[in-house]
A and B are shown apart, each in its own frame.
Chain A
Amino acid sequence: MAIKQEEIHQLLKEGFPDADIEINDLAGDDNHFAAKVRSSKFKGKSRVQQHQMVYASLKGKMGNELHALALTTEEK
Chain B
Amino acid sequence: MSDVETKIQQIIKQNDVVLFMKGTPDMPQCGFSMTVSNILKELKVKFNGVNVLADQEIREGVKAFSNWPTIPQLYIKGEFIGGCDIVKEMFESGELKNKLS
- Check if A63 is an interface residue, CB within 8 A of chain B: yes
Q: Say whether B82 contacts A62, CB under 8 Å.
A: no
Interface hits, A43-59 → B, CB 8 Å: 47-48, 51-52, 55
Q: B4-40: contact bitstring with A at CB < 8 Å (1 yes, 0 no)?
A: 0000000000000000000000000000100000000
Residues of B close to A60: CB separation below 8 A: 69
Closest-by-CB residue of A relative to B81 is A48
- Check if B89 is an interface residue, CB within 8 A of chain A: yes
Give CA–CA (A70, B84) in the complex, Å: 8
Give CA–CA (A55, B82) in the complex, Å: 13
Residues of B close to A48: CB separation below 8 A: 68, 80-82, 86
A contact patch SS: mixed
Question: Taking A48-B80, A51-B86 as contacts, is the C-beta distance between A68 and B32 under 8 angstroms?
Answer: yes
Residues of B within 8 A of A (CB): 32, 63, 67-70, 80-86, 89
Residues of A within 8 A of B (CB): 47-48, 51-52, 55, 60, 62-64, 68, 70-72
